[in-house]
Chains A and B, each alone.
Chain A
Amino acid sequence: MMALYLRDLKLATRAGGGALTGILFFMAVVAVVPFGLGPDLKLLAQVGPAMLWIGALLASLLGLDRLFQAEREDGALDVMLMQETPLVLTVFVKCLAHWTASGLPLVLVSPLLGLFLNMEPTAIFATMLTLLAGTPAITLIGAMGAAVAVALPRGGLLVSILVLPLVIPVLIFGVSAAYAAVEDPAPFLPPFMILTAITLFFAVIGPAAAAVALRASSE
């Protein structure tokens, strides 16, 4: 399993891999916000956590459609389906590698973008923490969509459309936890715990559903 994880990381970081593109997209989305809202620093600081979350959400959806499609195109998926390793585990490890290559970098650059949006250090830290807890859920839910759309020739856009409604809870609790850290009356922990719970829940549900979909579509 380690072999699969390392191979996917290698593929993501090597020439043509999508790891860099995701970060760039994230930066571009967040950089565009001030142009729409105006350069008012107070306003930007206020919408900062939400913008970072939406940017990270869109950026992590970006490369998801290739998660299984690339494997299917070169026939590797067939061989993976036949192994004694449970398919659920294979899917989970692929998600993990995908997150490490494209989700984790988003978390790591988010403080930098937080500075651009004039966010407070606490807000930046809280947003980073919620992104760290929440982005794996996006990948895990996205894996489901990617598996469903694996056989479609132009599944890319469809994956985003399928997955977006499903990740709304992640966005809700991620953003509310990030705001709770800054605004006094709201407690930080409850939404953060729910966010973590969602991630753990989909760590089980996501790969299982994706495995079923992959088996069904291999014909």
Chain B
Amino acid sequence: MRERSLAIRSFTDLANPTRFVALAGRLLPWLASLTALLFAVGLTLCFTTAADYQQGETVRIMYIHVPAAWLSMMGYTVMAASALGTLVWRHPLADVAAKCAAPIGAGFTALALVTGSLWGKPMWGTWWVWDARLTSVFILFLMYLGLIALNRAMDDAGRAAKVSAVLILVGFVNIPIIKFSVDWWNTLHQPASVLRLGGSAIDPEFLRPLLVMALAFTCLFFTLHLAAMRTEIWRRRIAAMRRQAARGAASA
């Protein structure tokens, strides 16, 4: 019981944008340093491990590609959680979190698509296949971009947040359906020729750098997200101050 009340108190503490900005300011240097450190270790590992005997040096693309793909999904999950926060708990920071996660998530998705494409060319001989997994990532990318466009199209931040929260959640429950239908669609048309990634268990030799890189990417995501949220709060404050300036001049 006590613990719960404590948790709620810290939750409401977080809800205060001023406190959040202060907290973010203190956290950001640490988080950024941690990210840099992890990347230093991860990239060193990436380039010192042995190349795959089948795929050669191109296997190293995996160390960027796979974490980016994971993060693209995590980004959407963060957005969905924030959207829930906006609609259910009306948490004042939730819409900021959702809005700021979209461009970062889209960035990671784009990275996953581009690296996948670069990897696909030497491996499959083509930049792009309408493979089920690729296709669903591409749809995810389109959803991200649509949400960004929606946010940009509305000038009232509060209203934009609610509307996009609805869309985010509908998208979130739709993801399994999309995934399922795309799987079904593709296997229906082209059963055997699709190449699968990582069919066999990954050798620990490859697993270690991959995990470090995944951790580094996750830290990068949160660093960027925190920084973006702080910027967004500042941006809204500036907008509010400008509105106030306009009103103040009216009385003069």
Contact = CB atoms under 8 A, between A and B. Distances in A.
Q: Do the two chains bind?
A: yes
Interface of A: 15-16, 20-21, 24, 27-28, 31, 34-35, 38-41, 44, 115-116, 118
Interface of B: 117, 126-131, 135, 138-139, 142, 145-146, 148-149, 152-155, 185-186, 189-190
B149 A20 contact: yes
B235 to A, nearest CB: 11
B189 A40 contact: yes
A31 B142 CA distance: 9
A16 B153 contact: yes
A41 B194 CA distance: 12
B126 A41 contact: yes
B130 A39 contact: yes
B168 to A, nearest CB: 16
Contact of B152 (A15, A31, A40, A118): A15
B153 A28 contact: no
A98 B190 CA distance: 42
B152 A39 contact: no
A201 B152 CA distance: 36
A39 B129 contact: yes
A16 B128 contact: no
Given A16-B153, A21-B153, A38-B190, 16 more contacts: A16-B152, A21-B149, A24-B145, A27-B145, A31-B138, A31-B139, A31-B142, A38-B189, A39-B131, A39-B135, A39-B185, A39-B190, A115-B117, A116-B138, A118-B126, A118-B127
A39 B142 contact: no
A24 B129 contact: no
Contacts of A28: 142
A40 to B, nearest CB: 7
Nearest to B189: A38
